[in-house]
Every structure is written in structure tokens, then in C-alpha cells.
Amino acid sequence: MNSVEGFREKFVLVAPSWVIPGGIVENSMFLADKVDEVSLCFFELNSSLAYTEKDIPQSLALLPLSWQVHLPFDLPDKAEMAFENCLELLKKISFLRPKACVLHPFKGEGGVSELRCFLQLWQNLDFSVFIKPELWIENTEENDLIELFDLICEFDLGICFDLGHAVAYNQTELIRLITTEKHLTNRVRQVHISVIDKNIHASRHLELPSVNDVKWKNELAFFKPLLKKLAQGTRLQPEIFNWKKYINSVNRLNKYFD
């Protein structure tokens, strides 16, 4: 992958665990010599809880990969139950020693207090059984993270900055703060890279456009300067669930990094 050597000297290249037809095993084996890290897509709670050792075998730990996990979108609204579900999922993959977990903010009127409760449980848990992953909070359509910044700093959390969400849902203040406030820029542990064209499909992740793409040039003008400010070892994850489109996005990243 000589075409991406430039940014891979600084960043960790991550792929979702579904870029080709098949399960976690097939995708992980396919990705093993192509990326640095795999994000286990535990998007749906019940199907993720149903995974067995056949779906996530111990042999995955032998692959030359590091790991992270995207926690389910549909966790319970109550912190205690959501935490227990997350702990059960982490026990399934403890042998992989995931570096981090990506969490969407809790929704609804009591979302902030439920998140605080979840974080207290996370902070106080004895992780002696396995290595404690970092926790990264992602901006979503419903939550641009701004009201959570105090909580993020208090609990020393990372930020998973979703480029597609920020642009599609006009999260201009989040973009401004992430790109200008050093203490927030320094909390960005990962960037989810895609664009979302709401005229096509409100939730469909499209590949990263060319740096000179007229349609997106103005909206993505902040991205190139942001890349230069991010810390060594920040994760870049084209959140694209198709290998051809994923690799197109990876190759275009070099132009943003130049």
C-alpha cells in the first residue's frame, strides 16, 4: 500500500469488521495484511450478544492486528443495564485486548445523567480480568457532543470525531471547537471518515470525495488542516462497508494529508 505510506507514518489505519461478504473471521483474515486495526462492528445488541466462539475464535488474536469495538447503537436507555450489556460483550473479546470502545451518547432528556452514571460504573469497575479499553464518545445526528465536553474532560474520555455526521448535520460549532481548541483537538482519538448525502440516503456512508470535488470542497475545507493538528497515533477509519470504496477513500486521504 505504497500510496498511503505518507499518512500511515503518523496515523493508525482502521477498517470496520465488515468490508467484504462474510463474518468477522473472514473479514479479519482479509484485512490482516492491509490495515493496522479492525473495529468490531457490534452495531446491534442482540445479534452481538449472540456471537459465540465460532464467530469470534481465539485464533483471531494471532493476526497481526490491533482491535477496537463499536458498541451497539441500541443499548438500553438506562445506564446500569447498558453497562452490563457492554461488559458482557467485552468479556467475549477480552482475549483480543481491544484498545478502545466507541460509544454513542445516550439519547433523550435524561441522556446526560445516564451517561454520567455509565461513566461512573466504567470508572469504578475492576478490570483486572482483562485490560481496560479506552472509551471514546462519538458525535451523532442527535448529539454534537458540545454539552458533553465537561463530562468528557472530567472522565478523561477520548472523542471519536465522525466527519460525515459533523458535515451532514451542520455541526459547525463542533467543527470549530475541534479544529481551534487545542485541548479538544488533543482529545480526538479517532476520525470516522465518510460523507453522507442526505438527498440520497440519510444514513448511507459514502466514500471520501476527492480533495478537489466541487460538491464537497467547501464543506470539507476544515479537514485538511485538522489532519495536521491531530496527534501521532490517532486512528483514521474510513467508515465504509465496501472494500473497493474503502480503499478509494484510503488512497484519497493522502491528498488531504499533503
How far apart CA 236 and CA 255 sit, in angstroms, is 14
**What are the counts of helices (DSSP H) followed by strands (DSSP E) for the chain?**
11, 8
How far apart CA 189 and CA 191 sit, in angstroms, is 7
Given this model, what pLDDT does residue 129 score?
62
237 contacts 11 by C-beta, under 8 angstroms: no
pLDDT tens digits, residue range 164-191? 999 999 999 999 999 999 999 999 999 9
Given this model, what pLDDT does residue 16 score?
98
How far apart CA 91 and CA 129 sit, in angstroms, is 9
1 has a pLDDT exceeding 60: no
Given this model, what pLDDT does residue 3 score?
44
How far apart CA 9 and CA 219 sit, in angstroms, is 27
**For the structural domain made of 2-257, what CATH number should be given?**
3.20.20.150
159 contacts 194 by C-beta, under 8 angstroms: no
Using a 10 angstrom Cβ sphere, with 0-12 exposed, 13-18 middle and 19 or more buried, the burial of residue 69 is: buried
Given this model, what pLDDT does residue 170 score?
95
Going from N- to C-terminal start, the domains of the chain cover: 2-257
What average pLDDT does range 232-257 have in this prediction? 94
Beta strand residue intervals within the chain, DSSP E = 12-16, 37-41, 66-70, 100-103, 134-138, 158-162, 188-193, 235-238
115 has a pLDDT exceeding 60: yes
What average pLDDT does range 95-113 have in this prediction? 95
What average pLDDT does range 141-146 have in this prediction? 97
For residue 102, which of 134, 75, 149, 79 has the smallest C-alpha distance?
134
The partner residues of 162 in beta bridges, in order of sequence, read 192
How far apart CA 257 and CA 13 sit, in angstroms, is 14
CB atoms within 10 A of CB 108: 9
pLDDT tens digits, residue range 123-140? 988 766 667 899 999 999
Given this model, what pLDDT does residue 204 score?
80
How far apart CA 200 and CA 174 sit, in angstroms, is 24
Name the pLDDT band for 4 (thresholds 50, 70, 90).
low
pLDDT tens digits, residue range 60-83? 999 999 999 999 999 999 999 999
Give percent above pLDDT 70 in the chain.
95
Given this model, what pLDDT does residue 177 score?
98
Given this model, what pLDDT does residue 199 score?
72
Contacts (Cβ under 8 Å, ≥6 apart) of 58? 95
